[in-house]
Chain A
Amino acid sequence: MTVIEFKDFKWHYFEREEHDLQGVNLKIKKGEFVGLLGPSGSGKTAFCYSIMGVVPHLSQGRVKGGKVIIDGLDTQDSSIGELSSRVGIIMQSPKSQLTGAGLTIEEEVAFGLENTGVPRSEMGKRIKSVLKRVGLYELRKRSPFEVSGGQMQKVGIASVLVLEPKILILDEPTGYLDPGGTEAVFSLVKKLNNQGKTIIIVTHKLEYLARYADRIILFNNGRVVRDGSPQEILSDTKLLKRNKIDPLPVTLLGEALKKKRKWKQELPITVKEAVEGLRKVVK
């Protein structure tokens, strides 16, 4: 079942010269784990905002054609309020997603539930479960502005997760996190994906996409350059370099060996694949 559909969608930001999305055509099915790749300014964020309805409702710009349909709703005809029950977005900067509506982490997480009219009896349960899931339950009485950057990001994630959206968008969610925190976020996201949520994640951390994503969409200049499996995209080192993305070290290792005709199979994208390949080379 298709939950996200872009039909030749063109979006133009007023303050910039070129279109930020220049005709995007794609479909994303329910339960897919999609990674978005692309250099800065390639239109990844505009793409994410289009799913959420921030484009065209809040951003300064104009739709130049096409449409976006989210779970049966045309984003141009539906309000962000309507869309927010279906789509949740987690942004890059942890501070910018705090609403300031609550003095404590618990209240910040509760804010969305209060707005969407979740009864009080259910609120407590949902908040407790989501805070335990992200590991913030012990800090629930602290101010969300007085915890570390990584914990602040987790508050943002918890506040969105608690609304139980079907589609979860994460725009570079691990930029402020240490390796442990990054792993925790990705494995949490994977768990949610296994429970049936559609995941769209923007990240520069290719090693995680190699391990977790079902599909990768490569953006540049507001267009989809390539759409395929992680294996197909991450092992194409030329394609990645052309689009200003550093290929994974394991892939580069495989490529170097291939040049010397020692590597015969597909280029590796995970450490596991590299180890298996190297065994064959050594033999």
Chain B
Amino acid sequence: MAFLKTNYIKKDSVIHSLNPLVKFSWVSLVVVLFLFSGSMTLFIVVNIIILLLAFLGKVGRDFIKGLVFMIGPIFLFSLMIHGLFNPFGISEEVLFSFYTINISLEGFYYGLFFGFKISALISVFYLFILTTYPGRMVTSLRTIGFPHKLGFLVNATLQIVPLMLREAETIIDAQRARGLETKGSITKRLGAYVPLLGPIVLGSVMKVYERTIALEVRGFSSTADKTSLYVENITLTDKLLIALSVVLLIIYVVFRVIG
């Protein structure tokens, strides 16, 4: 799993240097579209824009790799399920027929729409994570009044994924050393991951106690006013970009209401 980037990638790019709040506002815009829009064209456009932004942010290759890994299965299942069980009821148009199995055109189209819709949401968050330094993100979250515990939660969640993956590697090495077969046919390989689940899940739960002590010792529940190691400056460009996202949001809402 080491090929999959789940955390910040250090690069020097326009996207990286933006204030995290700018990225937040644009992510929120996509979330609103995700919740309220039913246009496939719109989602395809959003997907393309995010992909271009990923290349602008110099993380294009890792972005595509991660995205294919996350969205590929969703597309596959979405097309299969919606194609087989058309959500709009019985359809006349059959795209593909195999004995008694019919994939309907309408269902297939809906599956495609659903895939692009989810893809837009996942890719915008993924790009955000890849290009935003967690420390800066927490700082700017605090400046707009987010509670610091929530900031920590977001930060720690992002960091726990690579840690758990590393932990999984250690456990599988230990199990291999005691004779677990991890090479061979696909079923054998998949089967090898089952004994991994117990230790990694239980281990993480047990670590909660230790983690709690570690946090408490560092004054996590102290009632003092919190401070930050970093300062976040908001430039004029940042402000303009935030304003632009708000304007786009308003335009979208107006169009939805009128149209």
Contact = CB atoms under 8 A, between A and B. Distances in A.
Interface string B114-125: 000000000000
A159 B215 CA distance: 11
Given A107-B229, A110-B229, A163 B211 contact: no
Given A58-B213, A84-B218, A107 B135 contact: yes
A88 B218 CA distance: 8
B228 A81 contact: no
Interface residues of A, number: 39
Given A58-B209, A58-B213, A97-B214, A116 B219 contact: yes
Interface of A: 52, 54, 58, 79-82, 84-85, 88-89, 91, 93, 96-103, 106-107, 110-120, 123, 145, 159-160, 163
B224 interface: yes
Interface of B: 8, 133-135, 148, 152, 155-156, 159-160, 163, 166, 207, 209-229, 231
A103 B216 contact: no
Contacts of B210: 91, 93, 96-97
A30 to B, nearest CB: 21
A54 B216 contact: yes
A160 B213 CA distance: 12
A96 B211 contact: yes
Nearest to B209: A58
B226 A114 contact: yes
A221 B218 CA distance: 30
B214 A115 contact: no
B156 to A, nearest CB: 5
B218 A163 contact: yes
Contact of B220 (A81, A85, A102, A110): A81
Contacts of A80: 216-217, 221
Given A100-B160, A100-B163, A114-B226, A84 B217 contact: yes
Contact of B213 (A91, A112, A114): A91
A159 B211 CA distance: 14
A155 to B, nearest CB: 11
